Structure 1
Amino acid sequence: MFRASRPKKRAIACHRCHSQKIKCSGEKPCSKCRAAGYGNQCNYATRDRKIRVDESYLEQLLRDSEELHERRHRSKQDLPLQQGPDTDDDATGNDEPKIQGSLYGDKPWFQVHDASILPLYISEATCAAFATRLCQCLSKNNTPTLYLPKTRYTDESTLSSLQDIDTPWPTLVSARLMVNTALNHVIPCFHLALKKDSLDMLQGVYQRGDFDNPSIKCKYFVLFALAEAAQAPRATSNQSPVPGSAYFSRALSLINIIPERPSMIHIESLLLIAYFCQFLNRFHSAYIYIGSALRLGLSIGLNHNVPETQDLHPIAREHRIRIWWTIYTFERFWGAKSGFPMQIHDEDVHVDQPSISASKAYPDQFADGAYQVAGIELSRITGDTSAEIYCRKISTEKFLSREQRLLTQLKQWLQSLPPHLRLNPDGTSPKHTIHMHLQFNFCVILTIRPVLLHVLTLQMKDQYNQPASPISPVLVTLSETCIHAARHSLALCVNEWTGGSFAKYGYTFPAYLCSAALVLMLSSLLEVGDPSDLASAETAMEILKNLSLSDRLASRDLYEQIRRVHECLLNSPFPPPSLATENLNVQTLNPPSVDQGTATGLLQLSGHPQYPVVPSEDLSHLILDSNVPYLTTEMALHQQNMQDFLERPDVNFGLLDPVGMFNDFDLAISMSTQSPPY
């Protein structure tokens, strides 16, 4: 017999039935309320049932709730390490959660050195800013560490005084030697002028006696300045100006007026001036001159191909192309090292890449086009790194996803290199090839080093009586790759130093040394690193110290940075294990079977006691063993863990987004917002 199902009986009555003490049917509305015409007023009391749960589960819920509340609170307030104008984050009334693109908060970092001078913008992409973060992290008793101002540069008064000095043209023989020296110093790293045409024009200047043409004089005086800087001996007087400064200051006085119809020689001069600014440690000036060259190049359409119908000689056509890409490369390299944003975007560039066939057809005019193409692509990745890792734009993409994409691009760049641009296994690679691989390593370090600082803060939590956080395998993999890049860069730089081919007055090699040393100092503290890396970092510091004893202005600034970090590290509450840091250890092993890209023949710095010890004071007398292997960054990128990270389609390894990445770091050091950052 079929029995109709009864409605589910509610355990409680509605308010009306309960007050009248009558039986309630339990529906909503119940039958009594419907019959009385009170269906819209039929309500039931909210029932709070008691259930049994484990106490540990409740405690975990409370911890999660507190952590989420603190994270939201910190993301809306000024970070302790930031100084900037007061703004209302919620002024728009938009409650939608945001993901900040910057690793260090949403306020720009300004430093005031003198009340009469405009505040100086400090970019998080610079080595000085990274050194500051590390010093602050290592300081005792949460002591603020001030930003070290960059005061070691040739100032305007010095350049003005040099303009009053009579600087004559050298003899023709000397001038030809100096132009050849200058062009060989920058080629093939950068295409700044046509080599044969420049020498032919110089010959014509002396034959005609045309020494007062301002455009011609400006170009050649900067070339003379570059030659003097490149030929300078290792030791000079502290009171003497940077070699080439007199020629450089005269060139500056000849290029003050911006032409309405620019010529190629004017743009060449701007690029040469920007290049020489590194010797004077004047990076803001270099950025301005590069910007002027960029805008003048846009005004004459260097970013476009000249139609084939135009009657333009192949040399002139290729020269236009290469000058444009030099502007592009300068803009990204100088911007990345100084932390300035890109001024030209890839979608605005419509010109061909340098021609390899032109290099073969006109070898006396153009350097290897393959090197030019590789340098352009590396500069593009460098610019992307600054824009993706250190920008302040709002991004919905996870930080690790950006890391993955950039490292994938770097790996593809490395795989695409032709054999003659790889490091030779016998350790005899050309200087410009070593420079390119150092730039590659720098880009890897620039991409990953914020992760290293994050790993350090996770490891330091127990020092501040906070619960320690586990370090995920992907963070370990990224950290190891960054450390490998630093070790490889240091080995390349030491090899250049001991071989006598180190650019003494330039910025690039000292900058590579500094970036590697900072990572290795940090590595000596990390469980994923090695305490012996501190000895390697001290080797870099020793080289910079030697360079800083004379007027190597950039080296003096960089040496002071890593010296301060070294001092903070040794005085920190958790210094690395004690090492014989005054010793430099050279590892001599039989070479393994490696790919062509492996940089054997290079010096390996290690703290292992079984290797022969050479005092750091005798660094210049080191004899390099051509059979010394070294783990290169290329090998590190091919490790299985890194391969898994790069090939994973959806990177989601826990919370490592910019909003929360350094909140624990800021909380741990408890920096005062009234103290300027280092």
Structure 2
Amino acid sequence: MDRFWGLKCGLPVQVNDSDIQVDLPAHLLDDREREQLPDPALQIASISVARLAGHISQELYGPGKPAGCFLQHEQSLLAQSRRWLESLPDSLKLKPAGDNSRDVTVLHLQFHYCVILAIRPALLHALPHKAGSIPDSAVDTMPANMMAILETCGHTAKHSISLCIYAWTKGFIGMLSYDFPAFLFSAVLALLVTGHIRGVKVGEIPEVETAREILKIHENSGNIASKAFNLHLQSVIKSFEDHGRTAAAADKVPRSAVDKVASESSIQSLAPEFDMAVESFSWLMSAETMTTEMAFDHTNMQQFLANDELAVTPQDTINRSNDPMSPFWWLDQPLYTE
């Protein structure tokens, strides 16, 4: 509880791992005991996700300046996330065909929430890069490391929205719950930013309208968090739509003028680049066919996580003190306040 509320409300971690002297629950239960007692595997997995939440809060959202570069912290946190996923027993893995229990669904929503918040600073760093690029030009590219992170974020966000819809239709979520609107809003926001960076319009992302409708239903039922998140979501959508109209107007500039600006900008990348216009496999994939593991299975992310000597280029460097988007990294106020 300390870790999750700290991560959601911007509060520092109150209980460190070193302060906990109690051993994790054991798996030594017979069939009769399993019918009467909670599954120890679920408790262990929940505690591990809480530890991951604490690491994210301390490394990315803490007041102190962490040692090393930002991408090294991203690599470490995403590697921890993948290890947690690989350690899950079969009983706690999502079934692709559905029919998942409430505990398993909520557990994976918590995990998705942690992954999205771990990647959020990278999204906010990439957003000005997209906004400052020249429309419809070859300059609009991004380093491979950042593209790997964005690919994982897009997949995680889309899958998280799918899980939210599943949990909502199954009645797993209370009407006055705070967790569910936070899960849904964080996933939709990440999907919007990822889509915008890829050049996808808001109207081309059907999950956005579905999420807005669900939040509206909860808002009408008296959910305070849903009301606040819905207002934020409408503001974000309006901003992206306004930017889209501005970009469309910029596309009417004569091609020769755009080429001249592109040639004079002399933007070069020291790392391998990917064309932002190329759609990745997970972006096109239906949410029903997605699995949690796919977020870490694509080649770019595997190479990023396996790189023991991460070479940081100027395009990969994120200076938290000078980044204009850094104020939005912080969770210094509860997200449910207006």
Give the structure-2-normalised TM-score: 0.77
Structure-2 change in CA distance of 1:374 and 1:470 (3 Å): same
Instruction: Give how far 1:351 is off.
Output: 1.2
Question: Partner amino acid for 1:396?
Answer: A
Whether 2:225 is the aligned partner of 1:554: answer yes
Instruction: Give how far 1:346 is off.
Output: 1.1
Contact in 1 for aligned 2:96/2:289 (Cα 8 Å): no
C-alpha RMSD of the superposition: 3.0
Question: Partner amino acid for 1:435?
Answer: V
Whether 2:127 is the aligned partner of 1:456: answer yes
> Match for residue 323 of structure 2?
663
Where do residues 321-360 of structure 1 align in structure 2 (5 Å cutoff)?
A: 330-357=1-28
Whether 2:203 is the aligned partner of 1:537: answer no
Structure-2 change in CA distance of 1:359 and 1:654 (3 Å): farther
Looking at structure 1, the residues matched to 246 and 290 of structure 2 have their Cα atoms a distance apart, in angstroms, of 26
> Match for residue 407 of structure 1?
78
Task: Name which of 104, 123, 145 aligns with 1:474.
Answer: 145
Contact in 2 for aligned 1:385/1:406 (Cα 8 Å): yes
Structure-2 change in CA distance of 1:491 and 1:332 (3 Å): same
Contact in 2 for aligned 1:335/1:342 (Cα 8 Å): yes
Instruction: Give how far 1:390 is off.
Output: 1.3
Looking at structure 2, the residues matched to 568 and 450 of structure 1 have their Cα atoms a distance apart, in angstroms, of 19
SS for the counterpart of 2:22 is: coil
Contact in 2 for aligned 1:385/1:447 (Cα 8 Å): yes
Structure-2 change in CA distance of 1:650 and 1:528 (3 Å): farther
Give the structure-1-normalised TM-score: 0.40
Looking at structure 2, the residues matched to 661 and 641 of structure 1 have their Cα atoms a distance apart, in angstroms, of 28
Whether 2:178 is the aligned partner of 1:518: answer no
Task: Name which of 641, 644, 651 aligns with 2:303.
Answer: 644
Report Cα offsets for 1:606-654 as digits up to 9, x if no partner: 999xx9xxxxxxxxxxxxxxxx842233112011111110010111231
Question: Partner amino acid for 2:162?
Answer: A
Looking at structure 2, the residues matched to 530 and 487 of structure 1 have their Cα atoms a distance apart, in angstroms, of 15
Question: Partner amino acid for 1:374?
Answer: A
Task: Name which of 421, 430, 436 aligns with 2:107.
Answer: 436
Q: Whose helix proportion is higher, 1 or 2?
A: 2
Question: Partner amino acid for 1:438?
Answer: L
Looking at structure 2, the residues matched to 658 and 462 of structure 1 have their Cα atoms a distance apart, in angstroms, of 18
Looking at structure 1, the residues matched to 96 and 284 of structure 2 have their Cα atoms a distance apart, in angstroms, of 24
Looking at structure 2, the residues matched to 662 and 470 of structure 1 have their Cα atoms a distance apart, in angstroms, of 22
Question: Partner amino acid for 1:659?
Answer: N
Report Cα offsets for 1:533-583 as digits up to 9, x if no partner: 533112101100111012111211211211221222223365788xxxxxx
Looking at structure 1, the residues matched to 170 and 87 of structure 2 have their Cα atoms a distance apart, in angstroms, of 29
Report Cα offsets for 1:472-514 as digits up to 9, x if no partner: 0111110010011010011111122233333222111111110
Question: Partner amino acid for 1:455?
Answer: A
Whether 2:92 is the aligned partner of 1:421: answer yes
Contact in 2 for aligned 1:536/1:606 (Cα 8 Å): no
Looking at structure 1, the residues matched to 84 and 217 of structure 2 have their Cα atoms a distance apart, in angstroms, of 35
Report Cα offsets for 1:242-300 as digits up to 9, x if no partner: xxxxxxxxxxxxxxxxxxxxxxxxxxxxxxxxxxxxxxxxxxxxxxxxxxxxxxxxxxx
Looking at structure 2, the residues matched to 364 and 470 of structure 1 have their Cα atoms a distance apart, in angstroms, of 55
Where do residues 121-200 of structure 1 align in structure 2 (5 Å cutoff)?
A: none
> Match for residue 49 of structure 2?
378
Question: Partner amino acid for 2:291?
Answer: T
Report Cα offsets for 1:391-434 as digits up to 9, x if no partner: 12122311111111111111011011000100113200101101
Question: Partner amino acid for 2:49?
Answer: L
Instruction: Give how far 1:349 is off.
Output: 1.6
Report the identity percentage. Answer: 33
Looking at structure 1, the residues matched to 293 and 284 of structure 2 have their Cα atoms a distance apart, in angstroms, of 23
Report Cα offsets for 1:8-34 as digits up to 9, x if no partner: xxxxxxxxxxxxxxxxxxxxxxxxxxx
Contact in 1 for aligned 2:94/2:291 (Cα 8 Å): no
Task: Name which of 32, 37, 59 aligns with 1:388.
Answer: 59
Report Cα offsets for 1:177-205 as digits up to 9, x if no partner: xxxxxxxxxxxxxxxxxxxxxxxxxxxxx
Structure-2 change in CA distance of 1:606 and 1:458 (3 Å): closer
Contact in 1 for aligned 2:123/2:193 (Cα 8 Å): yes
SS for the counterpart of 1:387 is: helix
Question: Partner amino acid for 1:354?
Answer: P
SS for the counterpart of 1:551 is: coil
Report Cα offsets for 1:216-260 as digits up to 9, x if no partner: xxxxxxxxxxxxxxxxxxxxxxxxxxxxxxxxxxxxxxxxxxxxx
Looking at structure 1, the residues matched to 114 and 76 of structure 2 have their Cα atoms a distance apart, in angstroms, of 13
Structure-2 change in CA distance of 1:547 and 1:606 (3 Å): farther
Task: Name which of 630, 635, 646 aligns with 2:294.
Answer: 635
Contact in 1 for aligned 2:155/2:283 (Cα 8 Å): no
Looking at structure 1, the residues matched to 284 and 72 of structure 2 have their Cα atoms a distance apart, in angstroms, of 35
> Match for residue 157 of structure 1?
none
Structure-2 change in CA distance of 1:435 and 1:348 (3 Å): same
Question: Partner amino acid for 1:638?
Answer: D
Looking at structure 2, the residues matched to 376 and 458 of structure 1 have their Cα atoms a distance apart, in angstroms, of 37
Instruction: Give how far 1:365 is off.
Output: 5.4
Contact in 2 for aligned 1:532/1:607 (Cα 8 Å): no
Larger relative contact order (Cα-Cα within 8 Å, sequence gap ≥ 6): 2
Question: Partner amino acid for 2:143?
Answer: S
Looking at structure 1, the residues matched to 58 and 110 of structure 2 have their Cα atoms a distance apart, in angstroms, of 17
Instruction: Report the structure number with the largest CA radius of gyration.
Output: 1
Looking at structure 2, the residues matched to 428 and 532 of structure 1 have their Cα atoms a distance apart, in angstroms, of 30
Q: How many pairs are equivalent? A: 291
Task: Name which of 509, 512, 515 aligns with 2:180.
Answer: 509
Looking at structure 2, the residues matched to 515 and 408 of structure 1 have their Cα atoms a distance apart, in angstroms, of 21
